[in-house]
């Protein structure tokens, strides 16, 4: 299954109660897989793409085209606290951006059921001092039906308001809600080729509202290991700060360094509603088990991966034979891990991937990167891009695209 984060994958997953062995994630048919792009305010990794945005020229392999520019939350049980990180960080901030606390899924418009149409609804709004969305203005939408559905859900969102100089204040931001048909929470937890499972949540002190994941793309399957039919598993833990951004990622168990880098890269894009003690956001520690199952990937796709790694691109159409180029429909931008902010580090990754005849990204892989995690951040993001497919003789065809990312 595939979700454009989801929320926008793709989003909308709630965390299971702490200590739960499996992430249940009820699949809401026709649920809105909404991504929330809180531009400069929340540094969300989702990008708004107008429908029909043209991609820059597709390239032959080796060249580069720059196209980038579970169940309701239960009460988290307090477990043994992580080393001093939580208590030290759980202090009232002097300045804070607004934080999403409550996400409400939106029903896919009935008149578009079966159409396969995706939608981006871009809005600007004010988060008032009560944590409500107000002064909403629609900046872009493909149809009034999608606009109405998105606004109905947005009106039920709840935020922790911004703080400036120690005082609660209004704040303005822009959000992009991406609507996907028939992609529910399960697509983001149990997905083709693996599973994401929450093991435990740890907090220092009493928690009134547990931490909840609201956006989190699956990691990209290392293509060399996929082609070889190798499966793997990674146990990872990290801290979720008061801003909902993961930090201090630590690999606890792994079956290989490539799997570890893939998981670290995906986690850099995950976002959470932080745990609350009263109205105060507090730091939480999370531990996940992420599995990779090569046997769940279609044999035909694994065979294509083998051929491409061997330099055989017979599964795609040459750019010289194309009638039209692929066009970006929606995208998620890669973002650097939170730790990079202090060092002002710039990460780089050049990636190549196949856009199939349905406009779906397949078999992304790194051509070169400043470090392994940077490459997998880019792969996790680009896996959720969608396209209007390229055409030859007026028929959609698969092509290869390469592009650089700097973040």
The pLDDT of residue 18 is 37
Q: Give the separation between CA 82 and CA 86, rounded to whole angstroms.
A: 7
Indicate the class that CATH gives domain 186-296. Answer: alpha beta
Q: Give the separation between CA 274 and CA 209, rounded to whole angstroms.
A: 8
Q: Would you say 384 and 8 are in contact if contact means Cβ atoms under 8 Å apart?
A: yes
Which has the closest alpha carbon to 215: 405, 42, 395, 40? 42
**In the predicted structure, residue 221 carries a pLDDT above the cut 60:** yes
Q: Give the separation between CA 148 and CA 51, rounded to whole angstroms.
A: 18
Q: Token pair for residue 63? A: 């060249």
What tens digit of pLDDT does each residue of 330-348 get? 788 899 998 887 788 899 9
Confidence band (pLDDT; 50, 70, 90) for 12?
very low
Q: How far is CA 75 from CA 26, 185, 276, in A?
A: 18, 20, 11
For Cα atoms 257, 361, 288, give the angle at the middle one, nearest 5 degrees: 40
Q: Give the separation between CA 46 and CA 402, rounded to whole angstroms.
A: 20
Q: Give the separation between CA 371 and CA 164, rounded to whole angstroms.
A: 36
Q: What is the CATH number of domain 300-406?
A: 3.30.2420.10
Q: Would you say 180 and 4 are in contact if contact means Cβ atoms under 8 Å apart?
A: yes
One-letter-per-residue 3-state SS of the chain: CCCCEEECEECCCCCCCCCCCCCCCCCCCCECCCCCCCHHHHCCCEECCCCCEECCCCCCCCCCCCCCCCCCCCCCCCCCCCCCHHHHHCCCCCCECCEEEECCCCECCHHHCCCCCCEEEEEEEEECCCCCEEEEEEEECCCHHHHHHHHHHHCCCEEECEEECCEEECEEEEEEEEECCCCCCHHHHEECCEEEEEEEEEECCCCCECCEEEECCCCCCCHHHHHCCCCEEEEEEEEECCCCCEEEEEEEEECCHHHHHHHHHHHCCCEEECEEECCEEECEEEEEEEEECHHHCCHHHHHHHHHHHCCCCCCCCCHHHCCECCEEEEEECCCCCCCHHHHCCCCEEEEEEEECCCCEEEEEEEEEECCHHHHHHHHHHHCCCEEECEEECCEEECEEEEEEEEC
Confidence band (pLDDT; 50, 70, 90) for 143?
confident
The predicted model gives 30-57 an average pLDDT of 39
What tens digit of pLDDT does each residue of 273-327 get? 899 988 889 999 999 999 999 998 999 999 999 999 999 999 999 989 999 999 9
Neighbour tally for 130: CB within 10 Å = 11
Q: Would you say 383 and 331 are in contact if contact means Cβ atoms under 8 Å apart?
A: no
What tens digit of pLDDT does each residue of 179-208 get? 766 543 333 444 568 888 889 999 888 888
Start-end ranges of CATH 3.30.2420.10 in the chain? 186-296, 300-406
For Cα atoms 389, 394, 399, give the angle at the middle one, nearest 5 degrees: 35
The predicted model gives 76-81 an average pLDDT of 37
The predicted model gives 19-36 an average pLDDT of 35
The predicted model gives 231-257 an average pLDDT of 95
Q: Would you say 267 and 196 are in contact if contact means Cβ atoms under 8 Å apart?
A: no
pLDDT, greater one: 145 or 371: 371
**Burial environment of residue 168 by CB neighbours within 10 A (0 to 12, 13 to 18, 19 or more):** middle
The pLDDT of residue 44 is 45
The pLDDT of residue 9 is 30
How high does pLDDT run on average in the chain? 77
For Cα atoms 180, 242, 217, give the angle at the middle one, nearest 5 degrees: 30
The pLDDT of residue 115 is 64
Please give the span between the terminal C-alpha atoms of the chain, in angstroms, as a whole number: 28
Neighbour tally for 96: CB within 10 Å = 19
């Amino acid at each position: 299954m595939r979700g454009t984060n989801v929320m926008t994958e793709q989003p909308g997953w709630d965390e299971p109660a702490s200590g739960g062995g499996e992430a249940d994630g009820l699949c809401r048919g026709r649920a809105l897989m909404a991504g929330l792009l809180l531009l400069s305010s929340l540094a969300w990794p989702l990008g708004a793409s107008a429908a029909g945005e043209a991609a820059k020229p597709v390239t032959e392999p080796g060249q580069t085209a720059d196209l980038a520019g579970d169940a309701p939350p239960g009460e988290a049980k307090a477990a043994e606290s992580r080393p001093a990180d939580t208590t030290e960080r759980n202090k009232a901030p002097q300045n804070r951006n607004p934080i999403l606390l409550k996400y409400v899924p939106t029903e896919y418009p009935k008149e578009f059921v079966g159409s396969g149409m995706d939608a981006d609804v871009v809005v600007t709004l004010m988060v008032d001092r009560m944590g409500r969305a107000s002064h909403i203005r629609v900046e872009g939408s493909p149809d009034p039906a999608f606009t109405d559905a998105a606004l109905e859900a947005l009106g039920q969102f709840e935020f922790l308001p911004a703080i400036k100089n120690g005082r609660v204040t209004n704040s303005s931001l822009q959000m992009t809600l991406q609507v996907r048909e028939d992609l529910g929470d399960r697509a983001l937890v149990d997905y083709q080729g693996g599973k994401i499972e929450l093991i435990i949540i740890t907090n220092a002190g009493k928690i009134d509202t547990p931490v909840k994941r609201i956006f989190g793309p699956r990691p990209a399957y290392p293509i060399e290991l996929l082609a070889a039919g190798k499966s793997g598993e990674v146990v990872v833990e990290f801290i979720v700060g008061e801003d909902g951004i993961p930090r201090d990622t630590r690999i606890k168990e792994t079956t290989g360094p490539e799997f570890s880098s893939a998981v670290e890269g995906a986690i850099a894009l995950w976002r959470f509603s932080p745990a609350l003690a009263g109205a105060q956001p507090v730091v939480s520690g999370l531990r996940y088990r992420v599995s990779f199952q090569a046997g769940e990937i279609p044999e035909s796709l694994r065979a294509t991966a083998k051929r491409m790694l061997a330099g055989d691109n017979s599964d795609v159409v040459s750019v010289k034979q194309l009638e039209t180029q692929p066009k970006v429909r929606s995208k998620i931008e890669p973002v650097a891990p939170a730790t990079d902010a202090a060092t002002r580090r710039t990460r780089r990754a050049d990636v190549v991937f196949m856009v199939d005849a349905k406009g779906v990204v397949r078999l992304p892989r790194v051509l070169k990167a400043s470090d392994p995690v940077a490459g997998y951040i880019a792969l996790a993001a680009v896996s959720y891009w969608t396209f209007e497919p390229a055409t030859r003789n007026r028929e959609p065809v698969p092509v290869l695209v390469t592009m650089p990312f700097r973040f």
